[in-house]
């Protein structure tokens, strides 16, 4: 069974959709000559600086790997590059998944699916489905959401330096 999870986003305006349809073929013709914007450089794992910082916070708040978790519904997800995904099963319950990768479309998808067996998602057996890509889940780690919230509210090193100067 695959549970499909749409990302919460507004549908693009018809004019924007038309513009994308007209411009996309020209961009494809450029091939690999397109570069990311400055400041959003990727690592080999395909994570931007913002995704790497978010992944570090999730990894800090994540516990030891578990073999599986119960999946009845998903309240949201956060793509953390091409190899990591946080899945929110409740408001205060999240799971950090590492996928066999790279799962190239994961950072840009607007919806994904998660395979499961009898409501259980198993590491090394189940997969994240993004379009036609099927990326096997390598590890599952429970996230301490209270610790995650605390880490997100903690000022960064740059913010601390500015606060100390004042």
Asked whether residue 2 is domain-assigned, the answer is no
Query: Is 61 part of a structural domain of the chain?
Result: yes
Per-residue model confidence (pLDDT) at position 33 = 23
* pTM, to two decimals: 0.67
pLDDT means over runs of 10, the chain (166 residues): 57 41 36 28 56 92 97 92 95 95 90 94 96 96 94 64 41
- Residue 24 is assigned to a structural domain of this protein: no
Within-domain flag for 16: no
Q: Which domain holds residue 61?
A: 46-165
Cα→Cα distances 2→88, 113, 120, Å:
16, 6, 11
Closest-CA residue to 36 (of 49, 54, 23): 49
Residue 97: inside a domain:
yes
In a domain, 26, yes or no: no
Residue 5 lies in a domain: no
Tokens of 78: 């956060």
* Residue 66 belongs to a domain: yes
The total of structural domains in the chain comes to 1
Q: 3-class DSSP state for residue 5?
A: strand
Residue 62 DSSP symbol: B
Residue 153: per-residue pLDDT? 87
């Amino acid at each position: 069974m695959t549970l499909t999870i749409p990302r919460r986003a507004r549908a693009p305006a018809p004019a924007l959709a038309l513009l994308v349809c007209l411009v996309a073929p020209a961009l494809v013709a450029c091939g690999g000559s397109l570069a990311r914007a400055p400041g959003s450089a990727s690592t080999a794992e395909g994570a931007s600086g913002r995704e790497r910082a978010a992944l570090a916070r999730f990894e800090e708040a994540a516990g030891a790997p578990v073999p599986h978790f119960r999946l009845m519904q998903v309240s949201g997800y956060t793509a953390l590059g091409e190899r990591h995904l946080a899945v929110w099963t409740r408001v205060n319950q999240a799971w950090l998944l590492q996928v066999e990768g790279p799962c190239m479309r994961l950072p840009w998808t607007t919806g994904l699916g998660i395979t499961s067996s009898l409501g259980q998602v198993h590491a090394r057996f189940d997969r994240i489905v993004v379009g036609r890509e099927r990326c096997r889940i390598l590890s599952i780690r429970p996230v301490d959401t209270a610790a995650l919230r605390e880490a997100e509210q903690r000022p960064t090193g740059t913010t601390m330096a500015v606060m100390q100067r004042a």
